[in-house]
Amino acid sequence: MVAEAPTRKEALLSGSNLERVLRAGHFAVTAELGPPQSAEADVIREKAEYLKGTCDAVNITDNQTAIVRMSSIGAGTLVLAAGLEPVIQMTCRDRNRLAIQADLLGAYALGMNNLLCLSGDHQRFGNHPTAKNVYDIDSVQLIQMVAEMRDEKVFQCGDAFDGQEPRFFVGAAAAPFADPVEYRPYRLAKKVAAGADFFQTQLIYDVPAFAGYMEKVRELGLHEKSFILAGVGPLKSPGMARYMVNNVPGLLVPDELIERMTEAGAEWAGKSKDELTPEDKKARAAAWKAEGIQICIELIEQIREIEGVAGVHIMAIEWEEAVRPIVEGANLLPRPTFEEASA
């Protein structure tokens, strides 16, 4: 499906399952697993169970929305043990270049080999708004640093590794509709130049707008130098859709989709909160969720048709159970497996 591409796409850089799936030309599927705000290992095991067999790798968020949670690498260890491949998320908000490199050496030693490099949500939004942020380096510099750790076998300071270097499949985020919109394809190019192997985009609901972005990306030849996974996610309710439109920068949800969600709950419309029995509310939530999953499946089918899209990244926030029906509905099961081979 993916055309034979030059440069980065040829040699196996990390040997991760995700990298193999992409290089073999399969339409990749990644999902997301949010660690708990506690030291409860079973939460991770339970979520991993839902996701097992549905995706090629699963992102483990790093203090997402600046709320303290179990660390990405800690949770990643549990995910690995559960038989899933993690994508470690690493933000520049909480660690300087020393801590990032040290943690990545540890992560690689523990068997993790996918990394998503992020600048990180500002702490203003989290549960420790009086904290000091770090931002010693930014996401582009982080990409460059880990790519050089792998390819040049050096630390950021230039010192060579004495022993095994960490070999990560280096990912980055892309926000196709964030401001300034006209700069976004060039920002992707900048991250490719810095060494990004793959991208996971912000949630896409507006397929034509995303197709326009991808056209520009193809003009720049970026789809041949990196793998682009489109971010998708099931809507839970019309309210959630409206909330995201109003509160999440760079997110477009077409009215038509909000209308479909509203329509799914039409049976219960016009009734006040008090008139709805708990059973009503349950039935309405189920109807919304079913429609949300259906929309997500259709989005994947449409996005898959866009040239240069190498896979999807499914973000079912605190709704990991939704991933299987989505992947199943989009005919993306079973996920490819590989013989245990040397990298």
Q: Which residues bind other proteins (CB under 8 A)?
A: 92-93, 97, 119-122, 124-125, 133, 135-141, 144-145, 156, 173, 175, 178-180, 183, 186-187, 189-190, 193-194, 202, 249-250
Provide DSSP, 6-60.
Answer: -GGGSS-SS--HHHHHHHTT--EEEEEEPPPSSS-HHHHHHHHHHHTTT-SEEEE
In the complex, the smallest distance separating the C-beta of residue 189 from other proteins, rounded to whole angstroms, is 7
- Side chain identity at residue 304, one-letter code: R
Nearer to other proteins, 63 or 139 (CB): 139
Q: Nearest-CA neighbor of 188 among 227, 130, 237, 136?
A: 227
Nearer to other proteins, 173 or 297 (CB): 173
In the complex, the smallest distance separating the C-beta of residue 144 from other proteins, rounded to whole angstroms, is 6
Q: How many residues does the chain have?
A: 343
Phi then psi for 64, rounded to 5 degrees?
-55, 140
Cα–Cα distance list, 106 to 129, 222, 306 (Å)? 28, 31, 38
In the complex, the smallest distance separating the C-beta of residue 246 from other proteins, rounded to whole angstroms, is 10
Nearer to other proteins, 186 or 338 (CB): 186
In the complex, the smallest distance separating the C-beta of residue 34 from other proteins, rounded to whole angstroms, is 19
Nearer to other proteins, 91 or 237 (CB): 91
Structural contact between residues 201 and 173, judged by C-beta atoms closer than 8 angstroms? yes
Query: In this structure, are strands 169-174 and 114-118 parallel, antiparallel, or unpaired?
Result: parallel
In the complex, the smallest distance separating the C-beta of residue 181 from other proteins, rounded to whole angstroms, is 11
Nearer to other proteins, 137 or 314 (CB): 137
The DSSP element (H or E) to which 170 belongs, if any, is: strand 169-174
Nearer to other proteins, 87 or 147 (CB): 147
Task: Return the structure tokens found at 320.
Answer: 């990991």
In the complex, the smallest distance separating the C-beta of residue 241 from other proteins, rounded to whole angstroms, is 17
Torsion region of 269: left, alpha or beta (phi above 0 gives left; psi -120 to 50 gives alpha) = beta
Nearer to other proteins, 112 or 253 (CB): 253
Q: How far is Cα 184 from Cα 176, in angstroms, rounded to an integer?
A: 6
In the complex, the smallest distance separating the C-beta of residue 330 from other proteins, rounded to whole angstroms, is 26
